[in-house]
Amino acid sequence: MEDIARLRLFQAIDGGSPFWTEEFANYGGDELITRILAGKYDASKRSSARIKSELLKNQHDGLIEEIGSSGARFITPASEEWPQGLNDLVAPPFGLIIKGSPVFSTSVAIVGTRNPTTYGARIASEFASGFADRDLAIISGGAYGIDSHAHRGCIAAEGKTFAVLASGVNVEYPAGNSRLFKEIEESGALISEVMPNVRARPERFLTRNRLIAAISIGTIVVEAAFRSGSLRTARDAAELMRVVMAVPGPVTSPTSDGCHRLIGERCAEIVTSVADAMELLAPLTAKNAGTLGSDDT
């Protein structure tokens, strides 16, 4: 069955690979598994050998049980709660693991540095509260800094907030945020593209960023240094034709340098208040905002 194949592939293949996405589209799940097990792919390329060995080991029932015991569920594009925005990705995930309530269809991503200034922390929190007041959900990562402040601001305003993690939904990383993760789960959900118990690896943060960009209708970068992972989220969002916004800061502040770069490169719109952002987002918050096609933007 299709869902069984999806789950096994989901477990075996790291997300974000256009090649495997295409193979999946061409052959379908069951046949793709057969082909991999039959050794149709060069073992030295694209982790094929590792994928094959995972597929030899993994069993649908075992995977379902593992997900279930972590208190989460596995959803696929066929699920009703599948965030439609993900379909705009070049390499959409085979599925997602969700722990919490279904993902709100109209959500805004708030991203930025892990070491914000008090200014950045305040803006992230206040913007999140402001969006929550306007019935928009918040999406971010699970890191310290802007991510955490955005979640807290949203929770304080009793909104719905979602964290897309680079690790399994039951792996509390960073550990200092474990209480926040509980609150996020109660408010919205923890989302992940890897199996429970899987630890975060550096490359997963980048593939995770594309999910944040795709699920949300727009991304706001609050504070980002010159080399910041959140700039990647902004670029992903721009490629998906989402609204990309950046909050300016003092030109002497290194943590605003990345935001200024995005604005300077015409990659992001400058926003200085929630109202500013709402002007850009309002056209997208209509009832079909969940099925964002390129014709919407």
Contacting positions for another protein (CB under 8 A)? 113-119, 122, 144-145, 156, 225-226, 252-255, 257
Output 60 or 114, the one with its CB closest to another protein.
114
DSSP codes of every residue in 129-184: HHHHHTT-EEEE-S-TTHHHHHHHHHHHTT--EEEEESS-TT--SSGGGHHHHHHH
Q: Contact, 146 vs 128, CB < 8 A?
A: no
> What's the closest the beta carbon of residue 117 comes to another protein, in angstroms?
3
Output 20 or 127, the one with its CB closest to another protein.
127
Output 156 or 275, the one with its CB closest to another protein.
156
Output 109 or 224, the one with its CB closest to another protein.
224
Neighbours of 245 (CB within 10 A): 28
> What's the closest the beta carbon of residue 114 comes to another protein, in angstroms?
4
Output 113 or 170, the one with its CB closest to another protein.
113
> Cα–Cα distance between 102 and 88 in angstroms, integer?
19
Output 248 or 254, the one with its CB closest to another protein.
254
> Cα–Cα distance between 119 and 247 in angstroms, integer?
11
> What's the closest the beta carbon of residue 275 comes to another protein, in angstroms?
19
Output 35 or 122, the one with its CB closest to another protein.
122
> What's the closest the beta carbon of residue 177 comes to another protein, in angstroms?
13
Q: Are strands 73-75 and 218-221 parallel, antiparallel or unpaired?
A: unpaired
> What's the closest the beta carbon of residue 148 comes to another protein, in angstroms?
12
> What's the closest the beta carbon of residue 252 comes to another protein, in angstroms?
6
> What's the closest the beta carbon of residue 265 comes to another protein, in angstroms?
15
Angle between helix 146-156 and 178-187 (nearest 10)? 40
Close Cβ partners of 295 (under 8 Å, ≥ 6 residues apart): none
Note every long-range contact of 23-32, with CB atoms under 8 Å and residues 24 or more positions apart, other chains counting: 24/94, 28/2, 29/2, 29/4, 29/5, 30/1, 30/2, 30/5, 32/5
Close Cβ partners of 124 (under 8 Å, ≥ 6 residues apart): 110, 112, 116, 146, 149, 150, 153, 222, 223
